[in-house]
Amino acid sequence: MEMLATHFVAVLPDDTFTGMMVCALATGKWLIHVNFIYDSFRCKKFLQEYLYEWLKHPKILEIDTTSVEVAKAAVFWHLELDALSAKFPFEGKQIVLIMKRKYRQYYQMIFKTLKAKPVTYDPRTPGSCCTADYCFVDMKIIERVKLRFFARHNVPVFPYQYILVFLLKRGQVEDEYKYLLQDCKKYAKDTMFLLNDTY
């Protein structure tokens, strides 16, 4: 249902650990505070959303810097995806998702909405993943992942939280290599700092 929604009403914009926030940013939904509901109800009509964007809330700077980043990113993606020639983040990319089933199904729906191509990883027959553009992994099950396979095929592997980083940085992550979980030829070796070197 989140994919079909047009608005994300948040009590606070700092809930960055849910798939819903990732979905809201990636699909360009209005990120608005709860006063939008109260005021619209009082006026018996929907009011102008831009007046209730979290970025314009007078107390946004008092919450925390992450909330400010989320609010800025929400405005950016909303405007970006409103443009005529807009492309969704990760559009056309092949994405491998290695995480527990319930999370994987949710993120698969998100990536399908973004016109990306989620690929199923099966360690017994991993061949379908050799041409992937990204692999996102749940760190709780990292020991099940054959990182050597992805390194051999030059597929960058990131913790799945990197998806949110990508969205907050508006698709321009200059220090992308810092989030890598294994070596990858796409990134300069003299700047590598791997989060995981046990592959």
Q: Does a structural domain hold residue 47?
A: yes
pLDDT in the model for residue 187: 53
Residue 173 or residue 184, greater confidence: 173
CA distance 123 to 59: 48
Question: What does the longest C-alpha to C-alpha distance in the chain come to?
Answer: 60
CB-based contacts of 181, cutoff 8 Å, min separation 6? 137, 142, 147, 157, 158, 159, 194, 195, 196, 199
Residues 72 and 136 in one domain: no
CB-based contacts of 63, cutoff 8 Å, min separation 6? 12, 13, 14
* Domain termination residue (choose one: 54, 82, 110): 82
Q: Can you give the residue range of the structural domain that contains 51?
A: 7-82
Query: Whole-model pTM?
Result: 0.81
- And the tokens for 76? 């950016």
Q: Does a structural domain hold residue 197?
A: no
φ/ψ of residue 11, rounded to 5: -60, -45
pLDDT in the model for residue 143: 79
Residues 31-42: b if buried by 16+ CB within 10 A, e if exposed: bbbeebeeeeee
Residues 114 and 184 in one domain: yes
Residues 185 and 103 in one domain: yes
CA distance 54 to 62: 12
Q: Does a structural domain hold residue 56?
A: yes
| Total structural domains within the chain | 2
* Domain termination residue (choose one: 56, 82, 108): 82
pLDDT in the model for residue 153: 87
Residues 98 and 182 in one domain: yes
pLDDT in the model for residue 135: 93
The per-residue pLDDT of the chain, averaged, comes to 83
Residues 102 and 181 in one domain: yes
* CATH number for the domain that contains residue 72: 3.40.50.10190
Residues 107 and 175 in one domain: yes
pLDDT at 40 over 90: yes
Residues 47 and 104 in one domain: no
